Structure 1
Amino acid sequence: MGAGRDPREIRTVFNFPGRITDRPLTATRDEDGRWIGGSVDQWVEELTGAVLEHGASGFVLFSPGGGTQDIDSLACWGREIAPAVREAGA
């Protein structure tokens, strides 16, 4: 309220570096606890948790090295991961 905004109008966007793998990873986080990626199901679980537990309203996907994801990963994100998270959060 101090900035003249209703706190409910503030959106939280999470940055997610990581790779989308064909198979589940044994560990989806590095030794410091940072997300490194995983299978479609692992991504859906992680992002759904961010929505339901932390109020995330959006996500930015980028490669582990910090650049743009490859076209196959972007297609998987748009075709499988985002719709599943949207459905789970509805």
Structure 2
Amino acid sequence: MFNLPGRITDRPLPAPRDDTGRWIGGSVEQWVAELTEAALEHGAGGFTLFSPGGGSPSPTSLGRWAAEIAPAVRAAVADVTETA
């Protein structure tokens, strides 16, 4: 299980990680790439999203997570595992 603080932005961030290498967020595409890699390369079996300051994500972020990010990660992982 990976816990991920971060914001979901409309445009890609120049760097989705801070100076220490911690994930800070990014566009839907950046999130999908990060979570897909975590699942495939590191065996992540689940993810928890929370706001960068701690606590619950905004309704907008949660909606984007549920409608855009989670389905895209599931599809990307399924594509790789079906062809393996």
CA distance in 2, matches of 1:30, 1:67: 20
2:60 aligns with one of 68, 72, 84:
72
Length-normalised TM-score, structure 1: 0.86
Q: Post-superposition, which runs of at least 4 consecutive aligned residues in structure 1 deviate over 2 A?
A: none
Q: Which has the higher helix share?
A: 2
CA distance in 2, matches of 1:34, 1:67: 18
Counting only pairs closer than 5 Å after superposition, residues 1-90 of structure 1 correspond to structure 2 as 13-90=1-78
Unaligned runs of 5+ in 2: 79-84
Unaligned runs of 5+ in 1: 1-12
- Name the amino acid aligned to 2:37: G
SS at match of 2:46: strand
Identity %: 71
SS at match of 1:57: coil
> What RMSD over aligned residues (CA atoms) do the two structures have, in Å?
0.4
- How far apart are residue 31 of structure 1 and its match? 0.6
CA distance in 1, matches of 2:40, 2:50: 22
Q: How many residues align?
A: 78
